[in-house]
Structure 1
């Protein structure tokens, strides 16, 4: 499962244009082929907007500390493939 959050400042990119380049870049780093990604969550959030971060990692905190737009990418095990919410 791939979770991508795009934290932007003023110029925002379409969410659907973010996914493919990231999946391709992670090939052979996080997985052998992007066809292995069975689940995908993509979000975009304005850095000036109202949102709450739960369980902030040091990597995510570093992104916020820099004050510029950034991507936060997490590769985790996918949920049960036999259950669809």
Structure 2
């Protein structure tokens, strides 16, 4: 694997959701959206990976730490064999009405921004060198 990315319409459902059926429905949605972007040439990662999640919200924001686990679980067996492979994690939230700049616009991210409503941009890439901390 070098890079796998996809977008999912938001808002995300927190791991702390009281209604478990809502959480399971969210995981199913994430998986279905990921599968739409998965190509037959891609291979499920067997080594360490880095997971990057950016939540672009409009009015409702949730804590970034609560959105990670459902997404990690939803793409097991697709992007990677087991979520224990996630050695690095970058989670951000950005207000769609806010002032931010996108460097190196990727078409998938552009698709999400063009929709004009809240969404998540999720990227799985090979983990950085484990012997170097920056």
> What's the TM-score, normalizing by structure 2?
0.62
Query: RMSD between aligned alpha carbons?
Result: 0.7
Matched, 1:33 2:82: yes
Query: What is the alpha-carbon distance in structure 2 between the residues aligned to residue 56 and residue 25 of structure 1?
Result: 26
Q: Which one of 53, 63, 77 corresponds to residue 102 of structure 2?
A: 53
Q: Give 1:6's aligned residue.
A: 55
Matched, 1:64 2:131: no
Q: Deviations over 1:26-77 (max 9, x none)?
A: 1011000000000000000000111110111111111011111000001011
Runs of 4+ in 1 over 6 A off after TM superposition: none
Unaligned runs of 5+ in 2: 1-49
Unaligned runs of 5+ in 1: none
Query: What is the alpha-carbon distance in structure 2 between the residues aligned to residue 53 and residue 84 of structure 1?
Result: 25
- Bigger Cα displacement from structure 2, 57-66 vs 39-48: 57-66
Greater relative CO, 1 or 2 (CA 8 Å, sep 6+): 1
> What SS does structure 2 have at the residue aligned with 1:39?
strand
> What's the TM-score, normalizing by structure 1?
0.96
- Higher-Rg structure is 2
